[in-house]
Chain A
Amino acid sequence: MTMKITYKQNLKIAAAVVGGLALTATGAQAASPAAEGKRPNIVIILGDDLGFSDLGAFGGEIRTPNLDGLAKAGVRCTQFYTSASCSPTRSMLLSGVDTHLNGLGAMDEWAAPNQWGVDGYEGDLNKRVTTLPQVLKDAGYHTYMVGKWHMGKKPDHIPAARGFERDFSLLDGAGSYWDMWSFTAANPKSTFTEDGRYLKKLPKDYYATKTYTDKVISFIEEGRKDGKPFFAFVSHQAPHDPFHLPRDWRNRHVGEYDKGWDAVRKERLQRQIEMGLVPKGTELAERMWFIPDATLLAPAARAIMGKKMELYAGMVENMDHHVGRLINYLKKIGEYDNTIFIVFGDNGAEGTDLFKMVAGMPGTRNFLFASMQWSQNHPNAWGDPHTYVGYGPMWAQVSMTPFSHYKGLMGEGGIRNGLIVSGPIVKQAPGTISRSIMHVADIMPTLLEVAGASYPKTINGHEPPPLIGKSWVKTLAGEAESPRSGQDYLAWEIFGNRAVRQGDWKLRWQYKPYGTEEWELFNLATDVAERHDLTAQHPEKVKALLALWDDYVRANNVILPSRVLWEGQAKQLPDRYPVVDGYPPLLYQKQFIPPPDMLADPKP
Chain B
Amino acid sequence: MKTGTKPRREGGRIPSISQSRRLATAILALTILGPIIAPAQIPPRFYWKSLAGANAVPVIFQSLSGNANPIDPAFVVSPNSSVDATVAIAGYAKMLPVFNRTLTLAVLEPMGRISGETTVAGKLYNQDATGFGDPMVEVGLNLIGPKAIRSIPDLVRYEPKLSLDLIVDVAFPIGEYDNDQALNLGQNRWYGRVGAPIVWQIGPWVPGRRTTLELLPSVWFFSDNNDYYAGQQTGQTLSTDPMFQLEAHLTRDFTEHFWGSLDSTYMAGGKWSVNGVGGDSLNNLGVGLTLGYQINDNISLTAGYMATVNDSDPGDLRMDGFRISFTYGWHKIVEGQKRLKSE
Contact = CB atoms under 8 A, between A and B. Distances in A.
A300 B31 contact: yes
Nearest to B155: A300
A380 B204 CA distance: 8
A301 B32 contact: yes
B33 A300 contact: yes
Q: Among B156, B159, B256, which residue has the most Cβ atoms of chain A within 10 A? A: B156
A303 B152 contact: yes
Given A303-B157, A379-B33, A380-B159, A298 B152 contact: yes
A303 B33 CA distance: 11
A509 B159 CA distance: 49
Contacts of B209: 381
Given A258-B153, A378-B256, A380-B159, A301 B208 contact: no
Contacts of B266: none
Contact of A300 (B153, B206, B256): B153
B275 interface: no
B250 interface: no
A282 interface: no
Interface string A301-336: 111100100000000000000000000000000000
Interface string B140-177: 00000000000111011101000000000000000000
A300 B156 contact: yes
A380 B33 contact: no
B207 A304 contact: no
A155 interface: no
A399 B204 CA distance: 29
B216 to A, nearest CB: 25
A300 B152 contact: yes
Given A298-B31, A378-B256, A379-B33, A303 B156 contact: yes
B31 A376 contact: no
Interface residues of A, number: 18
A304 B157 contact: no
A136 B185 CA distance: 90
A301 B32 CA distance: 6
Contacts of B153: 255, 258, 299-300, 302-303
B157 A254 contact: yes
Nearest to A297: B32
Contacts of B200: none
Interface residues on B, range: 10 to 19
A307 B31 CA distance: 16
A303 B36 CA distance: 14
Count chain B CB atoms within 10 A of each CB in A300, A301, A381 and give the residue with the most. A300
B205 interface: yes
B33 A304 contact: yes
Nearest to B30: A300
Interface string B214-226: 0000000000000
Nearest to A306: B153
Interface string B178-208: 0000000000000000000000000011111
B208 A378 contact: yes
Most buried by B among A299, A302, A303: A303
Contacts of B204: 247, 380-381, 384
A380 B152 contact: no
A247 B207 CA distance: 16
A300 B51 CA distance: 12
Contacts of B33: 300, 304, 379
Contacts of B32: 300-301, 304
Contacts of B156: 300, 303-304, 307, 379
A292 B196 CA distance: 46
Interface in A250-283: 254-255, 258
A250 B145 CA distance: 20
B150 to A, nearest CB: 10
Interface string A360-389: 000000000000000010111100100000
A299 B206 contact: no
A507 to B, nearest CB: 39
Nearest to B29: A300
B31 A380 contact: no
B88 to A, nearest CB: 34
Nearest to B154: A303
A300 B154 CA distance: 9
Interface in B86-135: none
A376 B157 contact: no
A601 B104 CA distance: 37
- Tell me which of B33, B153, B205, B256 has the highest count of chain A C-beta atoms within 10 A of its own C-beta: B153
A391 to B, nearest CB: 14
A381 B206 contact: yes
A258 B159 CA distance: 19
Given A255-B153, A300-B156, A303-B157, A380 B30 contact: no
Contacts of B30: 300, 304
A387 to B, nearest CB: 9
Contacts of A376: 206, 208
Closest 3 CB pairs of A and B: A303-B153, A300-B152, A381-B206
11 contacts: A255-B157, A298-B31, A298-B152, A300-B30, A376-B206, A376-B208, A378-B206, A378-B207, A379-B33, A380-B207, A384-B206
Interface of A: 247, 254-255, 258, 298-304, 307, 376, 378-381, 384
Interface of B: 30-33, 151-153, 155-157, 159, 204-209, 256
Given A247-B204, A298-B152, 13 more contacts: A254-B157, A300-B30, A300-B31, A300-B32, A300-B151, A300-B153, A300-B155, A301-B32, A307-B156, A379-B156, A380-B159, A380-B207, A381-B206
